[in-house]
Amino acid sequence: MTTLQTVFAKAKADDRAALIGYLPAGFPSKDGAIAVATAMVEAGCDVIEIGLPYSDPLMDGPTIQDAVHRSLVNGTRIADVLRTVEGVAKTGAATLVMTYWNPIDRYGVDRFARDLAAAGGVGTITPDLTPEEAGPWRAASADAGIDTVFLVAPSSTEARIKAVADSCTGFVYAASLMGVTGARDQVGTAAQGLVERTRPHTSLPVCVGLGVGTGRQAAEVAGYADGVIVGSAFIRRVLDAPDEASALASVRELGAELAAGVRA
Amino acid sequence: MTAADLAGNGVHGDDPDTQGKFGVFGGRYVPEALIPALDEVAAEYDKAKNDAEFIGEFDRLLRTYAGRPTTLTEVPRFAEQAGGARIILKREDLTHTGAHKINNVLGQALLTKRLGKTRVIAETGAGQHGVATATAAALMGLECVIYMGAVDCERQALNVARMKLLGATVVPVTNGSQTLKDAINEAFRDWVANVDHTHYLFGTIAGPHPFPEIVRDFARIIGVEARRQIMELTGRLPDAVAAAVGGGSNAIGIFHAFIGDEGVQLHGFEAGGRGLESGEHALTLTAGSVGVLHGSRTYVLQDDEGQTVESHSISAGLDYPGVGPEHAWLKDSGRATYHGVTDAEAMEAFALLARTEGIIPAIESSHALAGALKLGREMGPDATILVNLSGRGDKDMGTAMKYFNL
């Protein structure tokens, strides 16, 4: 199993940022998600975030909402998410689950941590779980040997950045802008400042997500962050493709462009 | 209005803790980007509720604009169906814009100005909160955007027109169930992106801390007035207080002043829709389970994997799969009792009040009326039941025309 620590150490040794790709389980289909994520890894993603589809994704923009909705219509359940993690982890990429809090809360905190670790998952990203509410989840994750990743935002105060960073293992997720997920023409100008404000509070890698969708943007972010997170742009490639074969080709193309970006 | 009328701080030991928790309920489950804004709102509200000038201005608006105090009306012909019990209505339908929602929006619009923000956003189901927010925004010169499920836009077309006339932009939400739940998600998305100049004027006592506390405090005037008025009218406290519960703001508004009165039963009536067995209902407290929705730990209609289950009610205002955390706490502590009323029972009470008393209630409030009839039969002829008539039924005439073939 590849851990986040291994990935970031290797990327650092190569003097580059890590490339992190996001895809919801069950999209475009249950098996199709494993195929797309595998293509993302083959094209150069070091880390894959498998999204746990949730009915009320309040931090997501239209592209991810669309993909998640399709996944839920496909009947995706937590067992499918874990099976997807298992399939993707076999590629050698460090595989995380990104999820809103309620599905873990309902499934059972200890049970989810245990089952995720058993599936080969290395951690979670929980965008609506604050440090104040995260105690039981951090304990369960530590017991299961998986990492916890939480988010800092441009609006975060110094005290909040410290509290969030202190709750993280693996890496700190810096939301590049004030807004929801989705590729944009420009990565938020606040991103670099946020990474710089986060550094003094942690020795963990700091990765930037929200709004990144091109090789040029990946290169720009790689200039100041330890990892570049891309979600909606990959999903857009799948949504726009006429069939699965062209979707895989298109995802590989974007993955290669981004992988070159983080090495630029 | 006094500071105690506004907040009733600590009077009954029922304020949330510093994390916004009512027991295990409440809290904050939101993206980090919103935490500073929630902190800012909480801090400013703490100052405002102790500021005589703010309280004075809120009080002036309630009296001179909203039309407070609203009266009590005893409804003996209606109560003939309640086994002889006395039924007394708190007439929130007589406020400006026709529902209890006006109290909260005036308070939060004043708060928006204190925060130095120029734009308000809100979600709405039946349209009452949207209309109230658009009204307060017009009054105070704030830009206003209202998110409303596309399904609700259709069934509440009159309220959409009212909001537009008041200068608001109405955004139909076409995600998910296209009702209140999805309108709330969309409003949160807007807020994350525009939080620097925008206040999310939350419409009910759900959502992340401090909204459950703020909305309750601004709605609390309903119970403060009603408690005083019923003592004047009957010489004693009521035996029971009844209110409809969707998100729960009108119910908490009237319950709150009575929480310390142990002899007063508190009864909330949720939308039973087509009945519990049908699966088409909004029985969050009576049939839901504890989870997290829209930033708060509370009772939620959800499946075994934590996916929100769509609710159903003939009343758009009650068609919500969550509920305010304070109601969850009142339920678990046993202080309040929650029951279901079906669409059919609510519509029967709707028509009965119209024919016997000349008052057309909102369909939301009709759930409380139907509940009061049942309570009266159970409690006997000596009982006095205070019902929060949370709004008027003009907005629901389209539904009534269809339902009764009028």
**pLDDT mean by block of 10 residues, chain A; 264 residues:** 93 97 98 98 98 94 93 97 98 98 98 98 97 96 98 95 97 89 76 96 96 94 97 97 96 98 94
> Nearest CA of chain A to the CA of B179: how many Å?
12
Tens place of pLDDT for every residue, chain B, 406 residues? 777 777 665 544 578 998 899 999 999 999 999 999 999 999 999 999 999 999 999 999 999 999 999 999 999 999 999 999 999 999 999 999 999 999 999 999 999 999 999 999 999 988 889 999 999 999 999 999 999 999 889 878 889 999 999 999 999 999 877 888 889 989 999 999 899 999 999 999 999 999 999 999 999 999 999 999 999 999 999 999 999 999 999 999 999 999 999 999 999 999 999 999 999 999 999 999 999 999 999 999 999 999 999 999 999 889 999 999 999 999 999 999 999 999 999 999 999 999 999 999 999 999 999 999 999 999 999 999 999 999 999 989 999 999 999 9
ipTM given for this complex: 0.95
User: Which 3 state secondary structure label does DSSP give B162?
Assistant: helix
Output the pLDDT for position B11: 44
**CB-closest option in B19, B176, B188 to A55:** B176
What residues of chain A have any CB closer than 8 angstroms to a CB in chain B?
A: 54-61, 65, 69, 72, 77-78, 101-107, 127-130, 132-133, 150-157, 160, 164, 175, 178-180
Interface contact B306-A102, CB threshold 8 A: yes
Cβ-Cβ contacts under 8 Å, A153 against chain B? 31-33, 35
Report pLDDT digits (tens) over A30-76.
999 999 999 999 999 999 999 999 999 988 988 999 999 999 999 99
Interface contact B31-A58, CB threshold 8 A: yes
Structure tokens at B280: 């088409």
B38 φ/ψ angles, rounded to the nearest 5 degrees: -65, -40
Question: Which residue of B lies nearest to A103 if distances are taken between CA atoms?
Answer: B306
Residues 6 or more apart whose Cβ sits within 8 Å of residue B75: B87, B88, B89, B353, B356, B357, B359
B300 touches chain A (CB under 8 A): yes
Q: Which residue has the tokens 């003592």?
A: B231
Q: Which of A108, A115, A113, A47 is nearest to A80 (CA)?
A: A115
A124 vs A148: CA distance, rounded Å: 5
C-beta separation of B160 from B191 below 8 A: no
Cβ-Cβ contacts under 8 Å, B291 against chain A? 102, 105-106
> Nearest CA of chain A to the CA of B18: how many Å?
11
List, in sequence order, the alpha helices (H) in A119-243.
135-144, 158-167, 190-198, 215-222, 232-240
B21 touches chain A (CB under 8 A): no
Question: Which residue of A lies nearest to B34 if distances are taken between CA atoms?
Answer: A155
Q: Which of A66, A56, A185, A105 is nearest to B188 (CA)?
A: A56
Output the pLDDT for position B154: 86
CA distances from B338 to B46, B100, B223, B276 (A): 31, 20, 18, 14
Output the pLDDT for position B8: 66
User: Which 3 state secondary structure label does DSSP give B86?
Assistant: strand
Output the pLDDT for position B13: 54
Interface contact A128-B29, CB threshold 8 A: yes
Output the pLDDT for position B215: 98
Interface test with B, best of A70, A152, A178, A210 (most B CBs within 10 A): A178
What region does B218 belong to: left with phi over 0, alpha with psi -120 to 50, or beta?
A: alpha
CA angle B32, B34, B36 (to 5 degrees): 90
DSSP code of residue A58: T
Predicted TM-score (pTM) above 0.90: yes
Interface test with A, best of B17, B25, B28, B32 (most A CBs within 10 A): B32
> Nearest CA of chain A to the CA of B111: how many Å?
21
**CB-closest option in A65, A77, A128 to B31:** A128
Question: Which residue of B lies nearest to A78 if distances are taken between CA atoms?
Answer: B305
C-beta separation of A49 from A229 below 8 A: yes
B72 vs B337: CA distance, rounded Å: 23
Residues 6 or more apart whose Cβ sits within 8 Å of residue B388: B89, B90, B92, B100, B222, B226, B241, B242, B243, B244, B250, B251, B253, B254, B365, B368
Report pLDDT digits (tens) over A227-244.
999 999 999 999 999 999
Cβ-Cβ contacts under 8 Å, B307 against chain A? 54-55, 72, 103
Structure tokens at B235: 């010489």
B183 vs B166: CA distance, rounded Å: 20
Question: Torsion over CA of A193, A194, A199 and A202, rounded to 10 degrees?
Answer: 170
Query: What dotted CATH number matches A3-148+210-262?
Result: 3.20.20.70
> Which residues of A have a catalytic role annotated?
49, 60
Output the pLDDT for position B274: 97
Question: Which residue of B lies nearest to A165 if distances are taken between CA atoms?
Answer: B32
C-beta separation of B284 from B312 below 8 A: no
> Which residues of B have a catalytic role annotated?
101, 123, 390
Domain coordinates of chain A in residue numbers?
Answer: 3-148+210-262
Cβ-Cβ contacts under 8 Å, A130 against chain B? 28-30, 32, 35
A200 vs A207: CA distance, rounded Å: 15
B175 vs B148: CA distance, rounded Å: 11
